[in-house]
Amino acid sequence: MFLACNRERRCQIPEIATFHNVSRDHLAKAARRLAQEGFIRSIRGVGGGIELALPADKICLGEVIRRFEGNLGMLDCTHVDNVCRIQPGCRLRGVLKEAERRQWEFLDTVFLSDVIDAGDNLVELVSLSAE
């Protein structure tokens, strides 16, 4: 979201970490992974930094989450067999599997541009949450 709000320039890890109050090391690892997955570009040297590699309307939130987290099953039984005694006849398992399917179906329709517009100011969101 930070990069989408700052499309006109490259951003620095320390700047983003400070803004979100997160560890620089943790953010650097996440940025490295985002770059490996092709969502952002990392440019070294003077004038370097990180930037979106794709337009915000091409970055699907479902795909980002899936690549980072893999299957986010509500319970192990929804994606692993033989973890529960009642699993073969359990109707709850089917309900949870359907909930997960709908969750992914929805997330696959949401793009970065849907949650933030280029030029939006995240500082305004911080101000709203403080009120």
List average pLDDT for each run of 10 residues in the chain, which is 131 residues long. Answer: 88 92 95 95 90 95 90 78 87 90 95 80 60 52
- Tell me which H or E stretch contains 52: strand 49-52
Cβ atoms of 63 and 111 closer than 8 Å:
no
Same-domain pairing of 89 and 112: yes
Q: Where are the alpha helices (DSSP H) in 6-121?
A: 13-20, 24-36, 61-69, 91-107, 112-115
Range of the domain at 49: 1-53
For residue 4, with 0-12 CB atoms within 10 Å meaning exposed, 13-18 middle and 19 or more buried, which class applies?
buried
pTM for the predicted model, two decimal places: 0.80
**Residue 88, C-beta contacts closer than 8 angstroms, at least 6 positions apart:** none
**103 lies in a domain?**
yes
**87 lies in a domain?**
yes
- The total domain count for the chain is 2
**15 lies in a domain?**
yes
**129 lies in a domain?**
no
Same-domain pairing of 49 and 63: no
**125 lies in a domain?**
no
**101 lies in a domain?**
yes
Cβ atoms of 96 and 78 closer than 8 Å:
yes
Same-domain pairing of 43 and 71: no
Same-domain pairing of 65 and 113: yes
Q: Which tokens is 124 given?
A: 């305004």
Same-domain pairing of 19 and 64: no
Same-domain pairing of 48 and 21: yes
pLDDT at res. 103: 92
